Amino acid sequence: MSDAFRIAIVGSGPAGLSAAGRAAELGLSHVLLEKTDHLSDTIYKYQKGKHVMATPVQLALRSPLDFDAGKREAVLGTWDEQTAKHGVNVMYHAEVKAITGQAGDFTLALTDGREVKAETVILAIGTQGNPNLMRCPIEDGAVVQYTLDDPAEYNDEHITVVGGGDAGIENALGLAAEAAQGNSVTLCNRSAEFSTAKGPNVAALLGARDAGRMQVLTETTPAKVEKGWITFDTRDGELRIRCDRVIARMGSAPPRAFVEACCAEFEEKDDPRNPGRTMRGVKAGTGVQFTSSDRLAYPILSPTFETTVPGIFVIGALAGYPLIKHCMNQGYDVVEFINGNTQLKPADEPILEKKFAALPKGREVSEWLEVLRTNIGILQGLSPLQMREFMLDSDVRVYQPGEVIFVRGAREDSLFAIAEGSVLVEVNPQDPSITVPIGTGEIFGEVGLISGRTRGATIRAAERSIIVEISRLAALRLQRQVPSAQKEITRISIERQLLQLFKAGLTKEDVAEVVAGAEVRTVRAGEAVISEGEQGSDVFVIRSGSMIVEKAVGGKPVFLSYVPAGSFVGEMALIDGGLRTATVKAAIKADVIRLPGEAFARLMAKKPALEARVRQDMEARRIVNSFVEERKHSFSGAVDLYSQTAKFLIDEGIGEATDVLLIDENLCVGCDNCEKACADSHDGLSRLDREAGKTYAHLHVPTSCRHCEHPHCMADCPPNAIHRGADGEVFIDDTCIGCGNCQRNCPYGVIRMDKVPPKKPSLLSWLFLGLGPGPGEPSHEWSVENSKGEKPKKAIKCDMCAGIDGGPACVRACPTGAAIRVSPDEFLTVARLEA
Amino acid sequence: MLMVKNPARSRRQRTSSHDGFLQYRNFRWAKIAAAICVAAIAAYLMIDVQPRPNGGSAEGYILGTIGALLILWLTLLGVRKRAMTPGRWSLKAWTSAHVYLGLSLIVIATLHTGFQFGWNVHTLAYALMMLVIASGIWGISMYGALPKALSDNREMMTETQMLEALRSIDRQLHDAAQPLDQHHADLVQSSLEQDPFGGGLWARLTGRYRRCATRAAQAELRREGAFRPKLADDPLERIDTLLERKGAILHRVRRHLRLKALLEVWLYVHVPVTFALISALSAHIVSVFFYW
């Protein structure tokens, strides 16, 4: 292996395969390094027969390998065949441990001791990473493994599974499934709860434990593995048991550390985890650098995918492109770049051309990108490559003078930036002639982005303007990639939030002192920002999430009110002086802005209108306080029930909901007409499970989407298929690739993955002729029998019946009035007590 | 009842003013139905039909037409419930109207008869109608009384979860019974083999299952165990615990099924008799015109 290859490609996923294929086509000397014994391990590990999607549809594929949506086996088969046909030089069982050297002379050290020399390196290793390894001492000869292919292979063994995630639980259950296997299985979990595992898995595990089929140790970590034995640290001390085999399923570490260490210099540094000790760390400014220390940050890349180490390129998921088509195109492109093709236009050029079609003529795509990037303040930190990616998720439009950009009350969460021209904000809904201008280079709409709440004001173009609409996802990625953009967005958002919240004719200059002293703080669910009876005069503005206000009445906390994002709390103590009169704590994880009390008091002294406005809000709260105080004797039972019910709903996550289905079980006869109506309104699949879910005082929260302010499901959607619609509904569009990320991310279990069943015969032919399965979701058997052709599984969730006249079918179809849809700020008011 | 103040701020129309089908819009349909009844009674009392009030008079025809149309419209609730068409309708409003207008039929149809009854198809139609209404009243009383009990009995478990819990206990019983002797194993086997919900409609509706093998097995084990010396790690102890748990979950499922059956069983009278009523009604209408 002394001869240097022109290109070494690490990782044989879609990106790496495509790059190697292109290199082979061009006749460049190359090697494709794959750590397993087969190509494309991530897709190889998909479950059998999984349908692989090919989105975005509008993007042309540019690769020596073919790729079309289809079954996993077909996709892999095509790639295997074409890789062989192109004569790609693949080296299997080649896991790269370290990369050293410089452009033209890299050395890739493999874990088995071999070395590969190459002039350039393409890293296409994805983001899956390597499994976390056991940290405790392991004696020679002890068996420790990190995967389990077939549980049936092992018989009559003492096996310990480490890790209480889904993988660990499924392995343990598999090993203990058959009593005839004779395995004695122990599962150990670091914490007391199995918080990362799915509910049914945990239930099955505990069932197996209760049935005596396995031992489950919680709050336990392995301390030592010897041949035939394992020792644990448990809460009650050490425990040593028989163990022939350890199966460790403790998640995986992202490959960042490996990438950062490529060609880096090392130095001794303080170990952040063990104060006082030092560790070997990468010297700043060497190796492959990342955009920030954020866990989700990507490497810094040039327009040709080159990292900060010349000669090392990063493509695919590791570069921030999770979709297969992107990856394959980049594999092609990067080899072209390395081969000296500087004229190559990216494959997404036609998409951007279309996006820029409405703009004034005379500029090319790359010129427009440069204009937008330099004109808009927050985009200046983006590289040209990132800018291109950024615009794929964003839109740019020309607005004529007076044209509305968005209206007050609209439920959107995008951010806008002005590339040319200016806009006017109508600050007073009663009088649209009162406006505040925002000029070129600035942003607006950030409140919707941050809090997920409705637009606070209508905004119109003041002159002919070119404005970029940045989708929520693009805006979040931008903040991760460019820390300066994040700081700027935070500062502007605090300033604007204050101006909008308190109105009262305040200007930027007025609030400057308060903004300068403001601090954004993240509060855990249940944590208090204000405690009853303590000293304090700071005012808190809730930026995202929501809070509840409680007061101790007769030793018990009584729920007073629910405070949504975009409100402020803490003004009573500031105005009246004295101690805090109630406790304010987070209903869910929330961001608050702490405004220093003295600065705020000075501002109020300067601006009597502000003080009047704050007093007005305070009066409303005081009425609620005294209402509860007054009734606590006569209505203590009612107050108690109300308070408990409110707590229950908050515990059920209503605090982050915008619209939630509740069922009054005093009325519900269990006819399931809501589920049937849901299925019949949406392709035959019900998006709600009436019976499942928690109940308190006959108020039932069924398993159905609550349309969270910050939807968890949106967090990681590769095709960006989840959006918030005009009425606040969170919905999934047709570009869903069925990956299941949203289902895993949803803490409420309201997303299901399923195939759309075939169309049913009409209601009348069922009524009179008995054709078809009748109203509601057809049975699985019926769907399978009547399906034609292969259909992919897609994510299915409630869209609040958007676009259906009459609104949510579940509520319309309830014969007794048990089903209602409410938003928490309407529902969680003390007004309910008066009834 | 929970009440929600509706600030009506959102763009989408919400019906969060939360009332049941009986109270719908402050008893709107009860008032309408009452008004119809009062008008019908007043007309009956004020108009002196000769020789005596009967269905063949002008007033009789009016009442009869109203009644027949009402019956047809009331029947359509079954279609409305199943046809999930778009539009601003609410099944709750339909149910509310169905209940009160259905009750008003008692007055309308009775006045239509002019209190002339006999052993004929006309009175058959009337009797069938009253049977439908009576079953409906029974249904409403069930709807009023049982949902709370259904909810309390579930304790947040779904039916699937209950049955899954039952299966899980059965598996454990099966495993735990392996070391037992033939006699005891047979007892456990009898509990495993029996369909715990068999026993017909009566058992389902009363929730009483006389031949419950689980209960019998446990009673037998306890009877024998009363004089046996206590052993450490006695497999029969474990069987006893499992049978106890099975008994508890069986009780819950049976109660659940009983409540669900009670909420539904009246429909097995209400709906078929409605169709019988419509045929009798057709016969009644055809015959009065044919033999007139």
DSSP output for A304-327: TSB-SSTTEEE-GGGGT--SHHHH
- Strand locations in A496-654 (E): 519-523, 528-530, 539-544, 546-553, 556-564, 568-569, 583-586, 590-595
Using the CB atoms, write b or e for A363-384: b if 16+ within 10 Å.
eebbebbebbbebbbbbebbbe
Distance from CA of B252 to the nearest CA of A (A): 15
The domain over range A5-129+255-338 is classified in CATH as 3.50.50.60 = yes
pLDDT of the residue at A296:
66
| Cα A813 to Cα A120: distance, rounded to the nearest angstrom | 64
DSSP string, A652-699: TTGGG-SSEEEEETTT-----HHHHHHHHHTTT----EEEEEEEETTE
Distance from CA of A269 to the nearest CA of B (A): 54
Residue in B13, B84, B158 closest to A691 by CB: B158
* CATH code assigned to A652-756+791-834: 3.30.70.20
What does the domain layout of chain B look like in residue ranges? 24-81+90-155+267-290, 159-227+235-265
Using left for φ > 0, alpha for ψ between -120 and 50, and beta otherwise, residue A187 falls in: beta
Structure tokens belonging to residue A348 = 């997404």
Residue ranges of chain B whose pLDDT lies below 50? 1-16
Task: Identify the residue whose tokens are 């637009």.
Answer: A455
Residue ranges of chain A whose pLDDT lies below 70? 1-2, 47-48, 55, 253, 272-275, 294-296, 451-453, 504, 632-636, 829-835
Q: Which residue of A812, A827, A832 is the best one to mutate when testing the B interface, meaning the one whose CB has the most B CBs within 10 A? A: A812
Interface contact flag, B16 A827, Cβ < 8 Å: yes
Distance from CA of B77 to the nearest CA of A (A): 10
Q: Is residue A789 packed enough to be buried (19+ CB in 10 Å), middle (13-18) or exposed (0-12)?
A: exposed
The β-bridge partners of A564 are: A546
In total, the C-beta contacts within 8 angstroms joining chain A to chain B are: 148
Fold of the domain built from segment(s) A349-489: Jelly Rolls (2.60.120)
Residue in A677, A823, A832 closest to B10 by CB: A823
CA-based nearest residue in chain A for residue B146 = A669
The β-bridge partners of B165 are: none
For residue B156, list chain A residues with Cβ-Cβ distance below 8 A: 693-695
What does the domain layout of chain A look like in residue ranges? 5-129+255-338, 144-252, 349-489, 512-635, 652-756+791-834
CA-based nearest residue in chain A for residue B81 = A813
Interface contact flag, B2 A699, Cβ < 8 Å: yes
* CATH code assigned to A144-252: 3.50.50.60
CA-based nearest residue in chain A for residue B21 = A816
For residue B15, list chain A residues with Cβ-Cβ distance below 8 A: 811, 820
For residue B94, list chain A residues with Cβ-Cβ distance below 8 A: 815
Instruction: Give Cβ neighbours of residue A770 (< 8 Å, ≥ 6 apart).
Output: none
Measuring CA to CA, how many Å separate A113 from each of A94, A131, A675, B31? 10, 20, 60, 90
Residue in B2, B16, B263 closest to A669 by CB: B263
* CA B233 to centroid of chain Cα atoms: 48
Is A770 near chain B, with CB under 8 Å?
A: no
Residue in A667, A673, A806 closest to B147 by CB: A667
DSSP for residue A138:
B
Instruction: Give Cβ neighbours of residue A746 (< 8 Å, ≥ 6 apart).
Output: A712, A713
CA-based nearest residue in chain A for residue B238 = A211
| Cα A823 to Cα A661: distance, rounded to the nearest angstrom | 9
Q: Which of residues 780-819 of A touch B (CB under 8 A)?
A: 800, 804-807, 809, 811-818
For residue A673, list chain B residues with Cβ-Cβ distance below 8 A: 81, 91
Q: Spelled out in words, what is the top-level CATH class assigned to the domain A512-635?
A: mainly beta
Q: Is it true that A512-635 and A652-756+791-834 share their CATH fold?
A: no
The β-bridge partners of A237 are: A234
pLDDT of the residue at B3:
32
Q: Which residue of B21, B151, B174, B255 is the best one to mutate when testing the A interface, meaning the one whose CB has the most A CBs within 10 A? A: B151
pLDDT of the residue at A76:
94
Is A429 near chain B, with CB under 8 Å?
A: no
For residue A456, list chain B residues with Cβ-Cβ distance below 8 A: none
DSSP for residue A807:
S
Using left for φ > 0, alpha for ψ between -120 and 50, and beta otherwise, residue B232 falls in: beta
What is the value of ipTM here, to two decimals?
0.92
Is A179 near chain B, with CB under 8 Å?
A: yes
Q: Which residue of A202, A641, A659, A669 is the best one to mutate when testing the B interface, meaning the one whose CB has the most B CBs within 10 A? A: A669
